[in-house]
């Protein structure tokens, strides 16, 4: 695989931009703290409840940054960049924010799980341009104003090697996030989906963190689920390798055993899952391309049952 790595240290100091961060969970909190700490841009967090500061626990030390926040979409005005960090299944709920934040010159970077991000977000972004990404870092929300960053692998965030992707890399230059600019983002999105359709369902169903993946019987199940998803990804156009399944599992071992997943955290909190964007996306693509997915379909049924019960209980 040929990729181009754009290291932060190689980028010039970015010109000041107006950035709105929608969704301040683990992923959004980490990127918000990183961008504010770098000090180059005018940042506002779009949240349910106002916050004055944000604490981020990082491998290089804990930082505390002041935070300007908005809790009412009606108070928002168009910005240069929106970093959309909601869960994939909550995209529609961000529509009021996007309607106020997006103008003809706005770019919306999608820091969400799943494939085909432009299709998912585009209908809500108006005239703004959607910039897909692949998020690799593990962000855990510890409290409303506190998050923890765990690195996994050599990069934290990948974006396409095109004008918008390079502009996003320039925007984040000066942060400690490790960036990858690549001509193979669609394939990397499928590779990230492979990680998500193993670690997320298993941690959510077992209510255990990623240490559970180190069991021999769970590893065998992971590899079988991955083989199904790899076949679907190839049919969908991703350039996945012959040994993609074991390579994906080996990558999962880069995550520390104490790391959780988005579904795991959501189940602990009694929230619904982004199951349709992950396991649901594999099953749906398998149906489109005529590729059988019995194991992923079984996961999907169980995850939907748990997610629907949580959603109904919260209603």
State the catalytic residues: 192
d(CA 60, CA 75): 35
Of 213, 294, 300, the C-alpha closest to 250 is 213
Of 106, 155, 100, the C-alpha closest to 133 is 155
Both tokens of 266, joined, read 């959501």
Angle between helices 216-235 and 294-314 (to 10 degrees): 100
Of 91, 80, 152, 153, the C-alpha closest to 116 is 91
d(CA 259, CA 26): 12
| Residue 2: how many other CB atoms lie within 10 Å | 6
Of 303, 237, 233, 311, the C-alpha closest to 269 is 311
25-46 burial code (b ≥16 CB/10 A, e <16): bbbbbbbbbbbbbbebbebbbb
d(CA 164, CA 119): 16
| Residue 269: how many other CB atoms lie within 10 Å | 10
d(CA 4, CA 165): 12
Both tokens of 11, joined, read 């980028």
Whether the CB-CB separation of 76 and 100 falls below 8 Å is answered with yes
């Amino acid at each position: 695989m040929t990729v181009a790595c754009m290291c932060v240290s190689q980028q010039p100091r970015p010109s000041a931009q107006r950035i709105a961060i929608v969704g301040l969970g683990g992923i959004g909190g980490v990127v918000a703290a990183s961008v504010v700490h770098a000090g180059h841009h005018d940042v506002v967090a779009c949240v349910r409840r106002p916050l004055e500061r944000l604490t981020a626990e990082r491998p290089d030390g804990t930082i505390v940054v002041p935070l300007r926040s908005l809790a009412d979409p009606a108070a928002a005005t168009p910005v240069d960049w929106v970093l959309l960090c909601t869960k994939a299944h909550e995209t529609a709920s961000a529509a009021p924010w996007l309607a106020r934040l997006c103008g003809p010159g706005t770019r919306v970077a999608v820091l969400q799980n799943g494939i085909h991000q432009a299709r998912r977000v585009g209908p809500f972004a108006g005239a703004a341009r959607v910039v897909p990404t692949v998020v690799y870092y593990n962000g855990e929300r510890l409290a409303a104003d506190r998050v923890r960053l765990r690195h996994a692998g050599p990069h934290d965030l990948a974006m396409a090697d095109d004008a918008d992707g390079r502009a996003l890399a320039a925007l984040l230059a000066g942060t400690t996030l490790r960036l990858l600019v690549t001509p193979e983002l669609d394939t990397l999105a499928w590779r990230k989906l492979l990680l998500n359709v193993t670690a997320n369902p298993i941690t959510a169903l077992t209510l255990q963190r990623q240490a559970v993946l180190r069991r021999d019987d769970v590893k065998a199940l992971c590899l079988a689920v991955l083989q199904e998803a790899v076949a679907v990804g190839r049919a969908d156009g991703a350039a996945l390798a012959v040994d993609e399944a074991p390579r994906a599992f080996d990558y999962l071992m880069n995550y520390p055993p104490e790391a959780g997943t988005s579904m795991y955290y959501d189940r602990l909190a009694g929230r619904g899952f982004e199951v349709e964007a992950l396991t649901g996306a594999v099953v749906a693509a398998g149906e489109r391309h005529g590729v059988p997915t019995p194991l992923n379909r079984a996961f999907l049924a169980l995850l939907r049952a748990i997610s629907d019960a949580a959603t109904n209980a919260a209603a």
